[in-house]
Amino acid sequence: MKSIPSLPLVRGVALSGITAAVFSLSVIASRAGDPEWPSWRGPTSSGHAKQDERADTPARFDPAEGTRWKIALEGWGDSTPVAADGRIFFTSQVGRTGASPNYKGPPPRLSVEARDLADGALLWRDEFGPASVARTHAKNNLATASCATDGIHVFSLFGSGDLMCHTVTGELLWRRDLTADYGTLNLLHGHGASPVLAGGRLIVAFGHTPTPFSDEPTAEDKAFARAYYLLGVDPETGENIYEVKRSLPENARNAFGTPIVIRTEGPDAHDELVLGAHGIVYAHDPTTGRELWRCRGIGEDVIPSPVRDEHHIYVPSTFNGPTITIRPGGSGDVTETHRVWSNAKLNPWIASPILAEGRIYIATNNGVLRCADTGTGEVIWEERLEGEFYASPVLAGGLIHFITEDGDLIAMRPGDKLEVVARTPLGEPVIASPALAGGSLIVRTKAHLIRIDPARTGN
């Protein structure tokens, strides 16, 4: 194990003396290949394995016969592991803060760590104290956001406001305290959005809801309340290249979803950073932060993230909000021109949807699974499965893999009727979404990290 000393934390950004040299070498260095699972929901931000791996990845993952390794974790967290070049990266919290804003116990410790994909061995771990102790939900903690990696660097964000960059070998390049500029991330259920790499920027989205930490809001609460921020951070230094701030109304709800990046079609093809927040879907230029378009029609609360196919973006909501479908590439308010359909029955609450073979699949936190036509939004079937769904599903080898909160791994074949191929228990609660790396399923339970190799017999 390689122990990493933390840099002194000061207002703004603490930089390592080797930062500039490491990033300069990174420009020259030749990558072995793109990371297998670079961020939340993988290389397409939609829960799919790489296109060239789908046909070769056997479909069914059976914990009973396919567990290659299972390691106990010192801390816990709901962040999805990311993977690059034979390494797995994830964040954790050691010690609980409690869901109450008035928690008076000792502050937790936070960590970023790397494991060997081959055997689960610990490669390095950086543990440190948080910049702040923010409010969380009973089902999550300060280590809910997933890392992002380009195969050379690992970027991590915590609900405490700690934002940092390591090399994949564990050198800490910079660490930033977001609370120095934006106050405690005062979100009702704790911060959840993961950082995203796009347009040469590290994209960070977060907000402050109207719920204060106490009955008597502090001056900081008042200064930063009711605002939502989108930052384009320089990956080399951790400093802002741009900042988008939206003030929120008194009745503003919560936004936890992670933005996704899509590429438009045609001669003017360009990247768009898409996120849903506070009843509106926004698209920004990821390089400059400029708003490109907006579309009304989603719910005020947004926990799940959008998904996309070659032609459309599908944006879900929480509580009673609908899922809507949008054609990208517009300008200004595109509600009337680019919104294709809206369906309030397609409401996942927590887990993000997944697309397969012209269908969108949405699993709810009360155990209902729905399948709808991506072209029309019409529900084709809905079935109740035993269990609740908080983890977002993945697609590999022609099967969709769901995990219930109780830890049941469910393999389902896409189609116009429910066909469960296998349901096998992991025996532990699961909130974190799984990842795909090395042809295997990487699952993080509340206590363990598990690599499950594909079953070699049958589907």
Instruction: Report, as an integer, the average pLDDT of 376-399.
Output: 94
**Residue 198, number of CB atoms within 10 A of its CB:** 22
Domains along the chain?
Answer: 1-30+92-176 (no CATH), 41-80+357-459 (2.40.128.630), 194-347 (2.40.128.630)
Residue 207 has pLDDT above 70, yes or no: yes
Using the structure block, give the residue that is written with the tokens 């479908």.
325
The torsion of the CA quartet 91, 423, 413, 364, rounded to 10 degrees, works out to: -60
Q: How many CA atoms lie within 13 A of 352 on its CB side?
A: 34
Q: Are 203 and 195 within 8 A, CB to CB? A: yes
- DSSP state at residue 328: S
pLDDT confidence of 30, banded at 50, 70, 90? very low
pLDDT at 407 over 90: yes
Radius of gyration of the chain (CA): 21
For the segment 400-407, the average pLDDT, to the nearest whole number, is: 96
Is the pLDDT reported for residue 57 higher than 60?
A: no
Is the per-residue pLDDT at 20 higher than 60?
no
**148-to-43, 46, 377, 459 alpha-carbon distances in Å:** 11, 15, 32, 32
- Cα 113 to Cα 90: distance, rounded to the nearest angstrom: 6
- What pLDDT, in 10s, does the model give residues 251-273? 666 677 899 999 998 888 999 99
* Spatial separation of the C-alpha atoms in residues 206 and 195, rounded to whole Å: 10
One DSSP character per residue, 79-110 reads PPPEEETTEEEEEEEES---S-TT--S---EE
Determine whether 105 is exposed, middle or buried from the number of CB atoms within 10 Å of its CB (0-12, 13-18, 19+).
Answer: exposed
Given a cut of 50, whether residue 152 has pLDDT beyond it is yes
**Neighbour count for residue 231 (Cβ, 10 Å):** 23
State the pTM of this model. Answer: 0.89
Q: How many CB atoms lie within 10 A of CB 5?
A: 7
Residue 27 predicted with pLDDT over 50: no
pLDDT at 242: 97
Question: Tens digits of per-residue pLDDT, 89-99?
Answer: 999 998 875 55
Output the pLDDT for position 215. 46
